[in-house]
Amino acid sequence: MNATITTTAYSVPDKVMTNNDLENIVDTSDEWIRSRTGILQRHVVSQDEATSDISSKIAEKLLNQSGIEADQIDLIIVGTVTPDHFTPSTAAIVQKNIKAKNAWGFDLSAACSGFLYGLVTGANFITSGQYNKVMVIGVDTMTSILDFKDRDTCVIFGDGGGGVILEPSKNNFGIIDSMMHMDGSGGDYLIVPGGGSRIPASLKSVKERQHYIKQDGKTVFKHAVKGMSDVSARILTKNNLSGDDIALFIPHQANKRIIDAAAERCGISEDRVLINIDKFGNTTAGTIPIALDEAVNANKIHDGDYILLTSFGAGFTWGSILIKWETK
């Protein structure tokens, strides 16, 4: 028995920050950002918005669109690196907000791979026969950990997320294969140094700006290209498929150049690659579920289509999921 995605949804804050807006904040330009990332704008939270607010809106949309009652949800998994608090979990806050009284859940930290890690984890609870309805959300409020004096990071990220409901497949379609990886030796190249038990919050850590995300862009770029390209190619080969068999390729929206390289490696033509980084930027765990819901709403996915998802994130973490789409 496979797990299949029966409902998709996404939510982003109303406020939009354009590249021109960033020109007034940091030493950058619209041309510089466009040429290096493909980003034109990103959505950002207002002062009274947090990750659980976005997550709860996603969860409510999933329930409304599916017709499922909140008390029918068995499990809530939230992939995020920007929770409201260390504890309680964002999943617990979502469970409270939507009144999913019979659900348990947890947050999962895998940065930009958070949604794929969550999707695989949720799918395993379905295939085990233990649960019938699992909600998986990928969401981040990246502006909460951005240093707007660091142009190498602050121009890349945005806020938002998306989610799905997983249920047992009726036709043995759905998630048919996955490959997940991690290499902890890459941890220092993309990191938020402060705030945890290694560097607890203090006047010194705040003054040294240790609570913002730091990255070695060139190193991350090199590993992302190789990681996403290799794992996508391998999962196709393992399943006796080629790029021509993929109806839609939905990669993590980190950088258009990374996306183009991964698609080329897999032999997937540009018209079958979903790119929305221009509108949303890099929402970390939110990129793939946002793109997936856009594709569903635009009727780009049909029953029996092969869909390929791939991501790369801090950790390093990366992976790919192959789906045979099942229309509910």
Query: Residue 202's domain spans which residues?
Result: 175-324
Q: Is 266 a catalytic residue?
A: no
Confidence of residue 34 (pLDDT cuts 50, 70, 90): very high
Tell which of 138, 172, 206 closes a domain. 172
**Mean pLDDT along residues 179-203:** 97
Q: Is 240 a catalytic residue?
A: no
Identify whether residues 73 and 208 lie together within a single domain.
no
Identify whether residues 215 and 237 lie together within a single domain.
yes
Look at phi and psi of residue 164 and say left if phi exceeds 0, alpha if psi is from -120 to 50, else beta.
Answer: beta
Sign of CA dihedral 187, 140, 255, 273: positive
Tell which of 172, 207, 234 closes a domain. 172
Identify whether residues 17 and 156 lie together within a single domain.
yes
Q: Which position among 2, 19, 112, 255 bears the catalytic label?
A: 112
Identify whether residues 168 and 179 lie together within a single domain.
no
Q: Which position among 43, 223, 252, 255 bears the catalytic label?
A: 252
Give the pTM.
0.96
d(CA 123, CA 120): 5
Omega cis (within 30) before 88: yes
Tell which of 123, 146, 172 closes a domain. 172
Identify whether residues 37 and 161 lie together within a single domain.
yes
Give the CATH number, domain containing residue 301.
3.40.47.10
Residue pLDDT, tens place only, 68-102: 999 999 999 999 999 999 999 999 999 999 999 99
Among residues 90, 65, 88, 95, the alpha carbon closest in space to that of 79 is found at 90
Which residues have a Cβ under 8 Å from the Cβ of 129 and sit 6 or more positions away? 1
Residue pLDDT, tens place only, 234-276: 999 999 999 999 999 999 999 898 999 999 989 999 999 999 9
Identify whether residues 248 and 153 lie together within a single domain.
no
Q: Which amino acid is at 2?
A: N
Q: What's the pLDDT at 327?
A: 84
d(CA 95, CA 69): 12
Q: Is 124 a catalytic residue?
A: no
